[in-house]
Amino acid sequence: MDFLDIVSSILLLAGVFFGLSGAVGLFRFPDFFTRIHAASVTDSIAAILIIGGLLLQTSFDLNTAKLVFILLFLLVTSPTASHALAKSARHGGLLTLAESSPQDKQESAK
């Protein structure tokens, strides 16, 4: 039991670290698309680790099944939401950093 608790707290702490990294990245990254990448760290690995840690805290009953469901739905819905955001930004005409920065340089060269 103690061993499970230790593993679970390691998973939870790692999850918190990655969640925090995602939030920091959200502020540090330069443009919209790169910020989605930062948010997807929180979406994917932090969710997996935190729910994995919580799974070990349950006594393997109905709550375990519910947590597994939550994880499955998160793994399906969060990339879909990121994709929808990115797609609408792209179709709305937002340029990525790679596409917009060479133009800036050309303009400043003029």
Q: How far is CA 1 from the centre of its chain?
A: 30
Query: Alpha carbon of 27 to those of 42, 43, 79, 95: distances in Å?
Result: 13, 16, 20, 19
According to the binding rule CB under 8 A, does residue 1 interact with another protein? no
- Between CA 49 and CA 11 the distance in angstroms is 5
Distance in Å, CB of 12 to another protein, minimum: 16
Distance in Å, CB of 19 to another protein, minimum: 11
Neighbours of 38 (CB within 10 A): 18
Largest Cα–Cα distance in the chain?
Answer: 69
- Which residues touch 97 (CB under 8 Å, ≥6 apart)? 30, 31, 33, 34
Distance in Å, CB of 83 to another protein, minimum: 5
Distance in Å, CB of 9 to another protein, minimum: 19
Q: Binding another protein by CB under 8 A: which of 8, 16, 34, 58? A: 34
According to the binding rule CB under 8 A, does residue 58 interact with another protein? no
Write out the residues near another protein by the rule CB under 8 A.
18, 21-22, 24-25, 28-31, 33-34, 36-38, 40-41, 43-45, 48, 62, 65-66, 69, 75-76, 78-80, 82-83, 86-87, 90-91, 96-99
